[in-house]
Structure 1
Amino acid sequence: MTTDNDPSTGSRRKPWRELPRSVRTGIEDVLGGRVTAATSQRGGFSDGLAARLGLADGRRAFAKAVDATTAPAVAAFHRREAAVNDGLPHGVPVPRLLGAYDDQEWVALVFEDVDGALPVQPWREGELERVLDALTGLAERLTPAPRLNSADTSPRLGGWGRLADSPGSRVKLGEIAPGAARELERHLALEARLPEVIVGDTLTHGDLYPFNVLLTDERVVVVDWPHAWTGPAYADLVMLLGSVALGGADPEPYAARHPLLTGVDPEAVDVLISAQAGFLLAAACSMDSADPGTDPRLEHMMTALGLASLRWLSLRGYNSGRKQR
């Protein structure tokens, strides 16, 4: 399965054959076998390799690899993902890390292969309900948050302050999200509450969008954990529901009946939704579309998800003084 013309997949993927021989050998050493087939996989926006591998002895695996000299941030994400996966408790529905290769110039992670598929987008009702149900169990297994062999990372939330401080970003915000530009002060007020809202003792995925979920016949598997952080049990749920709005549906009925949001202050949810949109739009507005180093698909997806979160926030009527659920 290739990534050609797939808007949910980054445009800077590298095929197996283009990896340095030393990196391919390092991955084969982790696997203890020779790779005879490699197929790039859909989903996600990291630079470098993201491929399902077939071995000469019939085994399969999944590998991701990146050049740390040209994409140091992605390399840091890969290294942290290895640390997070090592610390996840048994039974959490994530791919098992088989090993890593790191020569300081290239970083590669090798996982067990998951025979699953990405959820269809826009969401199908049955698949969405499966994932929403799975999030309850995931939060239970990850509360209290396990100790990781890596420092906790800051959540990928918030960005309205950065937008306000950057004249260039404010101009771009006015072009891609004029409503948000007009309501910037309101979002800044919500962002001021973010530190109190993100307090919690659950390890959250931190980047839970449909392209980081695999559905098998039996399981919902959550992949790509470099952005995990400790916070409220409902944080991943709120993030995922933003993608429901991306498909044109109203996420609110799902939020209203989900057990992870029972008793939660609706204004706290508003803060998270706004902060999610702020992070995405600030990142998109900081990208230079004319720069050949910019991934246009990533910029487009961040913009679309940010606008979707804003639509959900608008549907909630976030300044109407709702009572707790």
Structure 2
Amino acid sequence: MSIRTVGMITGYQSVTQSDWLWQQTPNPFGIWGNIQMLAKEPQPDFLLMYQFDFKRRVSAKQSWLSRFQNKQVETVNVEPDLRGVPKGRVIYLMREPPLEEVVKSNQKNYKAAQNYCGYISGPDDFAPVPDYMPAIWYHSNSFRDLNEMPPPVKVSSCSWITSGINRTANHRKRLDFLQNLRSNEIDFDLYGRNLPATSNSSGELKNKWYGMAPYYYNLAIENYADNDWYVSEKLWDSLLAWCLPIYYGGPAADRLLPEGSFLRLPSLDEKGIAYIQEVTSTPDAWYAAKPAIAEARQIILHKLNLLNWLSEFVEKFD
């Protein structure tokens, strides 16, 4: 079996490493099945445009959302970035949710992608191919460790890793829920960057593993829950750390993961607060969910894995 190389370009300014996704395979140098993920490969066989913005914002240091909202733009000449890959082998994957503030920009990117890409998908109904975003995760553990490890020792009840981003209505709703949890003295450990001083945060973590693995439960709260497609690493990270996620998000997770592998947070209000308080009062739900969590972890690692998705895509050309 010949190995096909997959290059990558992205609109994420911080994603510049040559070993992107290499932690998501047990094999060296980004090999998974019939592909090798080589983000910087000058002449790849296939090219992944990952959350790529066809309009370059003036400030390259802005967040993805700020760049979308910045009206001072210049058109990007993407031809050099395509590295000679034929249109049919260029893949466009939108990763961010269709928040109201960026929907128009997302639609423009989908339209522009039709000039260069043979496959265009995103987690929203107006994408050419509406679909969930294949899984990536943000633990630094090796694939083999995640795949083979038993549950780590659990010593604390519940954690939440989030950020103080407040640029959209959905982000502000999540921060309001955080403040309500604190006001009601719900017991959980909070980690993340740029959180309000009143949130009683333990600060930012370099490795999310340390803020999840010792806990029975983890709050996995999406910043978008209004369609059938969007689900993010918040759920994958939680399950890979052997947590039982208390999940707030859309129904995509129900289609992708086994029943009982996560709990549904009913709402971001008093009802949700009462639910968290009741569930986290004992570890009973975690013990009951262990078999489903184990099954979900294998699905994430081997099936939902973005490398596996790319391998299956490339196989169609063989």
- Normalising by structure 2, we get a TM-score of 0.29
Q: Higher helix fraction: Structure 1 or Structure 2?
A: 1
Q: Which has the higher contact order (CA 8 A, sep 6+)?
A: 1
TM-score, L = length of structure 1: 0.28
